[in-house]
Amino acid sequence: MIGARAMHDLSGREYLQAKIDGRLPPAPIGGLMAMTAVSVGEGTVEFRCQPDG
């Protein structure tokens, strides 16, 4: 719930950057899908993932 509370105080870009920087916990689905946000820009988010082999 930490991340959900922070959404009220941050813009979308600030929120995503806080997750990337580790100031907020990552989204649970990221662990399930082996996916991590690595950068955020104006209207863009870059994700990195490791596909199952």
pLDDT at 17: 94
What is this structure's pTM?
0.75
pLDDT in tens, 32-44: 888 999 999 999 9
Is 14 strand, coil or helix?
helix
Is 42 strand, coil or helix?
coil
pLDDT in tens, 1-29: 555 666 678 998 999 999 999 999 988 88
40 close to 13: Cβ distance less than 8 angstroms: yes
- Written as six digits, the tokens of 51 are 């596909």
